[in-house]
Amino acid sequence: MTGTQIFERVAILGIGLIGSSVAHVIRANGLAGHVACHDSDADVRARAEALDIVDSMHADIAGAVTGADLVVVATPVGACGLVAEAMRAHLKTGAIVTDVGSVKGSVIAAMSPHIPDGVHLVPGHPVAGTEHSGPESGFAELFQNRFSILTPPPGADADAVATLERLWQGMGADVEIMDAEHHDRVLAITSHLPHLIAYTIVATAADLETELEAQPRDDELVTTREVIKYSAGGFRDFTRIAASDPVMWRDVFLLNKDAVLEMLGRFTEDLTVLQRAIRKDDGDALFEMFSRTRDIRRGVIEARQAGRFQYTENGKPSEDDA
Ligand code: NAP
């Protein structure tokens, strides 16, 4: 699909999975005249240059953002405040600054003090991703038919919001607008908690392996080999999610603490109900809950959010939402 050019110059800060996917699709769809880029990691900069997905690569933030009509901050969320501070003096009047972070409230709190008058902050979050990171993992179709949520702060410039909305639509996404607090509660249950559960279950299995390896072989119930061998069951999907970038997810949990803890509390209560049903041989309760969850999966498929990337064992793309 080829769109109409929306921006003269776009600066992407952080050229990992999301930043490089934005670069790919902007170029593929002709949405900007020039894509400038900065990443704090020299090795990442060299790899992104080799991929030929941006027009100019800059070792400093100033070089990338100077003259940009749109700045897309695509670093881990913990870096957004520092990045905003570093770009502050170099932003053009009338520019739009956005981000792609998985948490919105604390990112807005960290970035807004550094946004000068006349520059428009319109935070965003594409609900699309994979467990891979780095510039090589990006691809132009990542946002196709996925939601991109914009969380403009109260009083945000309506034209800037509309322009960013057009950009995301030009990148293939369906745009939703919501307030940051609502976003963080919704994503805590739909994305952050599932990742936390995946990290936990894989770590629990790893601990079990270690424990069993230390026991005499005759008593062994599960070995490392068996955990991997039988991971074609539900465990396999957990290992894929638990392979997600540790820096990104550390930041997400630290910066969406309240909402994640709230959802974790609710989840723990529901888990206890299931635990009790199993202990009491309450098959009806189990059946009722599993039937309800099956209906939810059908709803996800009907909403076209079931994930449509081809699963590959070692390569990209895979399927995941963040
Ligand atoms: P990624 O592949 O790890 O890319 C992030 C890049 O930013 C890395 O190259 C990193 O360099 C660089 N970086 C770190 N600190 C920086 C700084 N201060 N200045 C400039 N560059 C910096 O991560 P990602 O998956 O693209 O995630 C980026 C953002 O998108 C995160 O905020 C995440 O919450 C959000 N997001 C992710 C997904 C997903 O599924 N992955 C989905 C939606 C939204 P180093 O490698 O040296 O750290």
Which of 17, 72, 85 has most ligand 1 atoms within 8 Å of its beta carbon, as the pocket-test mutant?
17
pLDDT at 302: 78
pLDDT confidence bin for 166, thresholds 50/70/90: very high
SS (H, E, C) the chain: CCCCCCEEEEEEECCCHHHHHHHHHHHHCCCEEEEEEECCCHHHHHHHHHHCCCCEEECCHHHHHCCCCEEEECCCHHHHHHHHHHHHHHCCCCCEEEECCCCCHHHHHHHHHHCCCCCEECCEEECCECCCCCHHHCCCCCCCCCEEEECCCCCCCHHHHHHHHHHHHHCCCEEEECCHHHHHHHHHHHHHHHHHHHHHHHHHHHHHHHHHHCCCHHHCCCCHHHHHHCCCCCHHHHHHHCCCCHHHHHHHHHHCHHHHHHHHHHHHHHHHHHHHHHHCCCHHHHHHHHHHHHHHHHHHHHCCCCCCCCCCCCCCCCCECC
pLDDT digits (tens, 9 = 90+) for 87-123: 999 999 999 999 999 999 999 999 999 999 999 999 9
CB of 81 within 6 A of ligand 1: the answer is no
State mean pLDDT over 202-208. 85
pLDDT at 230: 73
Atom of ligand 1 nearest to the CA of 134: 2
CA of 77 to the centre of ligand 1 (A): 8
CA of 225 to the centre of ligand 1 (A): 33
The whole-model pTM stands at 0.91
CA of 14 to the centre of ligand 1 (A): 6
CB of 41 within 6 A of ligand 1: the answer is yes
CB of 248 within 6 A of ligand 1: the answer is yes
pLDDT at 34: 98
pLDDT confidence bin for 205, thresholds 50/70/90: confident
Higher pLDDT, 216 or 46: 46
